Structure 1
Amino acid sequence: MFQMLGTPAIPSNSVPGRHVISGKTMGTRYSVVFYSELDFDAEALQRELQEAVDRVDEQMSPWKADSILCEINRMEPASWIDLPDETFEVCEAALLTCVESEGAFDPFVGDLVSAWGFGPETDAPDLSKAKQLQGDWNSRRREVEFDRKNRRLRRPATCRLDLCGIAKGYGVDCLSQVMHRWGLPNHLVSIDGELRASGRKAGGSGWQVALEAPEADVRREALRLEVSDVAIATSGTYRKIRNAGGRTVSHTMNPQSGAPVKNELLSVSVIAESCMTADAWATAYMVMGCEKALAHAQHAGLDAIFVVRTPLGAVDVLATDPELLAA
């Protein structure tokens, strides 16, 4: 994942005009770093930032029993449910990415996620259930109905909605939107490594961010970028892992095989205009594998960085634009 560089854990006034606000969300933390010489109500700003991410979490968390997402998954099959604006926007983007990625990104993998031990119910994989789900996954998913005109959705009994592959990126975008509404365009916002950079730091330089090496037990910088007016999201297989049937598996599901992703990719970082877009495509590219994902990113005009394990066991880094690796 990408991390901000030089961000203190608490607000600091050591740099004139530099401010930091952070808080809890989605089982992790968000951070907002920004520059402004203008007077503003820091408590009111933090309150609005917190409310923005709370709305996303309260609507889309699979771990909150009263969330909109959990309500959708409890609904009787074939029953329509009206969607609030935020959930509608994320579902629309998720389903569009599902079509464009030919199912590599699929927001209806909730049952698969749970069967492999990554859902809210238990961390113990149920391999017999996982095997039952593998057979006709794509045909079940196609039974989902999304009514854009009336902003509602209904699903078949066999598909549970899971927005974890896109909601965090959307939350980052919501934080950035709050900052723009407050007239604070020079900011770097992040939720657990998914980030969006807007404007520039004091002095005109871009924002420094670092790509972590894909190692489970240590945090080490592998690559550094200077960015402005872009969002970056990363998906990887080196954290959030389980032992299932004697092998280590990751939390990213391959909807087409009905099993966790297993290919040469260790991580994918996508650079896009919105973090929601970057988040969804980072997940899709992990499923596609390096060759297909690289070709798609180049065709779609998305910048992406791929960390791969070579057949000899070495780690290599590829990018759609070689200049990304020369930064």
Structure 2
Amino acid sequence: MPSIAVLAPPRWRLLPILLLGALLALAGCAQDDTPVELQGRTMGTHYSVKLYGLPDTLSVEQLQAQIDARLEQVNDLMSTYRPDSELSRFNASDSGDWFPVSLELAALVALAERISIFSIGAFDVTVGPAVNLWGFGPGQPPEQLPSDAQLAEVRERIGFPRLEYRLDPPALRKEKPGVYVDLSGIAKGHGVDQVAAVLESAGVTDYLAEVGGELRASGTKPDATPWRIAIERPESGVREVHRIVTLHDAAMATSGDYRNFYERDGKLYSHTINPITARPVTHTLASVSVIAADCAQADALATALLVLGPEAGLALAEAHDIAAFFVVREGDGYSDRATSRFAALTAE
């Protein structure tokens, strides 16, 4: 798709799912070799920021308050766990008329549509009805697995042709009642980008920002070395480093099937839902890390490639010069597969 060049990271940046502890341990120091570190809660997870060179005109408390306020705004627009959020009010509406929303929300839906087209539907924010049916939305896991009839019904409400957006004036419109938008595959990355925007507006140029494992890095540590990030071993109940990569002015996100899942009758069901089948993915791909120009793109692309699986995902990423790192289950262990772009960007 011609316009997808926007999605492929040029000399841009890098970032995967990381261990917060390893992330903090591997980052460096500042002006006085002492970093400023901020942490908080958002989007049902945590965020962290490590930075050097805090401007004299701004206190740590003021900067944290600005970050917290910006992330609250993102939640108020896009959370499906807040019934009064802008997105939840759209989801609850049965109207087929244009529903006024913020430009920020409409623009993120526009980006999501481009990635949906690029990935041939592997990424699709209208997958919400299936996410909820399998118990990975605001509700609880179901006592019984969805029936074929239930899956057939939700598939009738999934697909970008059932959702429209416009940017001027910004609004969303659904084809039929029951269309439900879930931005969980892109919203955390967007949150990281908003934290980065707050930092850069404050004059901070050397930082590592993270929300729930999605990252964005800028500048270097005081000794001019780049940020080093740990990609996590994709194993439930284990917090081990799988690989270390360096980040040079980049954003990285990771999608995996090993953190959010449940078991029924000895079988594991992952939160990663294929929008085409409305079922959890079942292939051997455990995690995908993507480096992109911004974290929202990296987040959505990582989700799309995870849905596609080890062969189709790698082929699509390689064909479009996307920097992606795949961890695949093989027997009792794992194998790694990286695109040539990822290998070039992470070479030291």
TM-score by length of 2: 0.86
CA distance in structure 1 between the aligned counterparts of 2:54 and 2:263, rounded to whole angstroms: 51
Q: Select 2:43's aligned residue among 10, 26, 29.
A: 26
Residue 304 (structure 1) shift: 0.6
| 1:210-262 deviation digits (Å, cap 9, x = unpaired) | 00101101100010011121111010111100124652110010011110011
The answer to whether structure 1 residue 162 and structure 2 residue 182 are counterparts is yes
Q: In structure 2, what is the equivalent of residue 51 of structure 1?
A: 69
1:34 to 1:73, Cα distance in 2 relative to 1, 3 A: same
In structure 2, C-alpha distance between the alignment counterparts of 1:313 and 1:131, rounded to whole Å = 36
Aligned mates of 1:111, 1:210 — CA distance in 2: 34
1:240 corresponds to which residue? 260
- Equivalent residue letter for 2:118: E
For 1:258, the equivalent position in structure 2 comes to 278
Displacement of 1:291:
1.5
Displacement of 1:59? 1.3
User: Matched residues in 2 for 1:162 and 1:197: separation?
Assistant: 27
Give the structure, 1 or 2, with the largest relative contact order (CA under 8 Å, sep 6 or more). Answer: 2
Deviations 1:102-149 (A, max 9, x none): 110010111101111111122225534664234683775222222233
8 Å contact from structure 2 (residues 253, 299) kept in 1: yes
Secondary structure at 1:304 match in 2: strand
Q: What is residue 148 of structure 1 aligned with on the other side?
A: 167
Looking at structure 1, the residues matched to 218 and 136 of structure 2 have their Cα atoms a distance apart, in angstroms, of 33
Supply the distance in 2 between the matched residues of 1:54 and 1:281 (Cα, whole angstroms). Answer: 24
> 5 Å matches for 1:93-172?
93-124=111-142, 126-128=144-146, 131-134=149-152, 137=155, 140-141=158-159, 142-155=161-174, 156-172=176-192
Q: Assess if the C-alpha contact under 8 Å between 2:103 and 2:167 holds in 1.
A: no
How far is 1:324 from its partner? Answer: 6.6
Q: Which amino acid aligns with 1:315?
A: Y
Aligned to 2:94: 76
The two structures, once aligned, show a CA RMSD in angstroms of 2.3
Aligned residue pairs: how many?
323
The answer to whether residue 19 in structure 2 is matched with residue 3 in structure 1 is yes
- Percent of pairs identical after alignment? 36
**Structure 1 unaligned residues grouped into runs of 5+:** none
Deviation at 1:161, TM superposition (A): 0.5
Q: Which amino acid aligns with 1:16?
A: D
Contact 1:104–1:284 (8 Å) recurs in 2:
yes
On the 8 A contact 2:126/2:179 being kept in 1, the answer is yes
> In the alignment, residue 182 of structure 1 is paired with which amino acid?
A
Instruction: Tell me how far apart the structure 1 counterparts of residues 232 and 328 of structure 2 sit (CA, whole Å).
Output: 13
Per the alignment, residue 41 of structure 1 pairs with 59
Q: What's the TM-score, normalizing by structure 1?
A: 0.92
C-alpha separation between the residues in 2 aligned to 1:74 and 1:269? 33
Secondary structure of the corresponding residue to residue 109 of structure 2: helix
